[in-house]
A = this chain, B = another copy of it.
Amino acid sequence: MHSFRNDYSEGCHPNIIKALLDTNLEQQEGYGDDQYCQEAKELIKLKIKNQNADIHFVSAGTQANLIVISSILKPFESVISASTGHINVHETGAIEATGHKIETIFSEDGKLNPELIQSILEKFEDHHMTKPKLVYISNSTEVGTFYSKIELVNLSAFCKKNNLYLFMDGARLGSALCASINDLAFSDLSALTDVFYIGGTKNGALLGEAIIINNNNLKEDFKFHLKQRGALLSKGRLLGIQFRELFKENLYLDLASQANSMASILSSEIKNLGFEFLSESKTNQIFPILPNSIITELSKDFGFYVWKKIDNKNAAIRLVTSWATKKEVVEKFINTLKTIQP
């Protein structure tokens, strides 16, 4: 039974296993001071067009989020997030556990914009309240949407004007940058965010997220935060080797494109069959709305989450594709769906 539950069901891209094997018995410095972390950082700097970026590799998205956010904020400062934001919903209070409030605002498409942020800023009065200082966005978002260049330009300008830092959670950054109608590039992220991270785990790596610090004020002493939160791997090479492979030539974006294109086929075919969607997604997560009877039938052959009840007879399901999703599986899903159709 094939699972469309998520994009971390498989291991890693074969090139990575090969690189691990090839370098396995070399001696390297520990804690990220090895040759491969160095090479990976150089490759990433080229790709993001920012030679001054500080780059740090960590194991997982929640870890990246909690370290970045707690390293930036003073005790009384808060982070602004869409209420659907991963840090607000699915990180077991990891941000609050570092002492900081998340100021949330509802956003239909999971994205933030100046108007939404402004509405939070306007509530701020004085020292009886937390002071909003950092804007957290995810790209692609938890509901499959992504930011266009003009949206990010506006958001970035608004943050600068209001003395707010901008941090992009890129756990699924590849799928955002490779979305069919996307016009954002890696280099834009260097120019428009203070910090962002490039998710490896959901796009070809065994584990690993690359934190990119663009703002000079936020670079100093970052390794202390990594160590204090338990994120500094003694065999840091494990992360460097993987990102070196992903950023050699175009592998990272190629993998994301493959994931998106499989999702895109699923989308069009399901649409052709007359079904609607919870959101207009161009990334690797799609949310078709199906009758419960069909969902029951599909779940005999495929794994996926039932995402949201629509009414008594219908629900939205979430289908996630990855670099490892094969076209045959997608076709099998569509064929099964056609068969079930009343």
Contacts and interface: CB of A to CB of B under 8 A. Distances in A.
A24 B12 contact: yes
Contacts of A129: 89-90, 92
Contacts of A28: 9-10
Interface string A266-288: 00000000000000000000000
A93 to B, nearest CB: 4
Interface in A71-117: 71, 74-76, 78, 89-94, 96-102
B17 A21 contact: yes
Contacts of A9: 27-30
A145 B67 CA distance: 34
B11 A201 contact: no
Interface in A52-67: 59-67
A23 B10 CA distance: 9
B75 A70 contact: yes
A127 interface: yes
A216 to B, nearest CB: 17
A150 interface: no
Interface residues of A, number: 76
B90 A128 contact: yes
Contacts of A324: 25
Given A10-B25, A25-B10, A59-B59, A127 B20 contact: no
A28 B26 CA distance: 30
Given A225-B76, A229-B230, A27 B3 contact: yes
A237 interface: yes
Given A3-B27, A62-B232, A101-B102, 6 more contacts: A11-B20, A60-B234, A92-B128, A96-B101, A97-B228, A97-B229
A229 B232 contact: no
A231 B228 contact: no
A6 B62 CA distance: 29
A95 B77 CA distance: 13
B232 A60 contact: yes
A65 to B, nearest CB: 8
A179 to B, nearest CB: 22
